Amino acid sequence: MKLDLIENLNTETVELEKLFLNPNNPRLMGKSRKVDLPDNRVNEEKIQNAVLRDIKQEGISDLYEKIKKLGFLSIDRIVVRKISESDNYIVLEGNRRISTVKTLLNEHQEGIITLDSNILESLKNIEVLVYSGADKNIIWLLQGMRHINGIKEWGALQQARFLVEMQKEESLSATELDKMTGFGRNTISRKIRSFKAFEFCQEFYHGELDENNFSLFQEAIFTKPQIKEWLSWNDDENKFENSENLESLLNWYVGDEEGNKRIERVLDIRDHFNKLLIPENKSILVKFIEVEDFSINEAIQEIRDKDAEKNAQKHQLDLGERILRLNDLYTELSTLPMVNILKSADKDKFKDIIEKINESASFQLTSLGK
């Protein structure tokens, strides 16, 4: 992968008012923001206010106290690019830091806080790296390399979207993506598949899927082959082909048109609903599908009862075999070469085992009423 970074980064000092937060920030995509906005809308006041609000909700308290005390330090550079046909810049890397600076300056101007003059001066003009290259995925590359395994990780949806963008635009293989992120090839493949499934369901589902629903795909559907097969996932076309089953699952977990849910947790889908798809539990699955007030917990209890009954029958069928094994054990104990054992270094091991057998035999005899 060829990155035109170093030769296209130049240091400049830019007035804070000319630095605009990025509404297409990967950290926010899939949360409050669903589509990319064009450059000509970036500087709109309402959009900037919304991005600042969203980033503050993500958390800037760690930076707030540091910059309030020390001012803005240019050790860790902000990366920006110029907005076409203007003297303004959009922040590619460093949106949290610029959000913090803007917040502190606003609070000072509103009289909420009072900043020392030297601190205040450091916030008005920011030393940045201006990217002048043509790679349209530069924001993903910059933020991905900095954050994806960093202290403040992205959410699972943002990580998956980054991997899909890199695979699509940079033609990176799973091995190359693994070298970049350290996720592992299997995890990368699951994240990419999950994102494509999530996108498909956003178009398919009657309601709105958000970031909180992404775990359904990453932690359940694509970790359990039975669920993926039940939904008939097509890897070539990146879609589920069994629309009826897909609609049912989304209604149960995300909510039907009236907002009713039957399965509250992804874990219940991964660990419990998955068991309903085993062929021998087909009757319980049919009951769960057809009877609305038959809960997933009741379904799982029926499976447990069924398994308990099966195990009891198995133990009954094994009684003859167990008698033979006990006879073999009796023969083994009766024919132990005690003279050799007494001289052996393993004497104590033999003693411990025989004592355990004796204790178990005494308990079983008591149970039998002897």
Which residue matches tokens 């635009």?
Answer: 169
For 300-336, how does the pLDDT look when each residue is reduced to its tens digit (9 = 90+)? 999 998 888 877 776 665 777 778 888 888 888 899 8
Q: Kindly tell me the burial class for residue 160, based on how many C-beta atoms sit within 10 Å of its own C-beta (0-12, 13-18, 19 or more).
A: buried
Mean pLDDT confidence for 329-348 = 89
Helices (H), 71-155: 95-109, 117-124, 138-147
Question: What are the pLDDT digits (tens) for 19-66?
Answer: 999 998 777 766 566 667 888 999 999 999 999 999 998 889 989 999
**Which whole number is the average pLDDT over 260-273?**
93
| Mean confidence (pLDDT) of the chain | 86
**Residue in this structure with the two tokens 């890199």, named with its chain if needed:** 166
Question: What distance lies between CA 138 and its chain's CA centroid?
Answer: 24
Q: For position 2, what pLDDT does the model report?
A: 42
Would you kindly state where each structural domain of the chain is located, as residue ranges? 6-147, 156-312, 318-367
Residue 14 pLDDT > 90, yes or no?
A: yes
Task: Please name the residues in contact with 138: beta carbons below 8 A apart, sequence gap of 6 or more.
Answer: 5, 81, 92, 131
Query: In this structure, are strands 19-20 and 233-234 parallel, antiparallel, or unpaired?
Result: unpaired
User: For the segment 94-143, what is each residue's pLDDT rounded down to a tens digit?
Assistant: 899 999 999 999 999 999 999 999 999 999 999 998 998 877 667 666 65
User: Which pLDDT belongs to residue 346?
Assistant: 87
Q: What is the pLDDT of residues 355-365, one digit of tens each?
A: 999 998 898 88
Under the banding of pLDDT at 50, 70 and 90, the label for residue 152 is very low
pLDDT at 250: 95
| Helices 319-334/347-367 angle, 10° precision | 140
Q: Is the pLDDT of residue 6 over 80?
A: no
More confident residue, 2 or 35: 35
Give the model's confidence band at 151: pLDDT under 50 very low, under 70 low, under 90 confident, else very high: very low
The string of pLDDT tens digits covering residues 212-243 is 899 999 999 999 999 999 999 999 999 999 99
DSSP state of 241: S
Report which DSSP code applies to 102: H
- Mean pLDDT to the nearest integer, 62-90: 88
pLDDT at 150: 47
Return d(Cα 292, Cα 301) in angstroms, integer: 16
How much is the pLDDT for 102? 96
The SS3 call for residue 225 is: helix
Residue 9's DSSP bridge partners are 131
Question: In the predicted model, is pLDDT for residue 195 greater than 90?
Answer: yes
Angle between helix axes 156-170 and 185-204 (nearest 10 degrees) is: 100
Which pLDDT score is estimated for 28?
74
**φ, ψ of residue 262 in degrees (nearest 5):** -115, -20
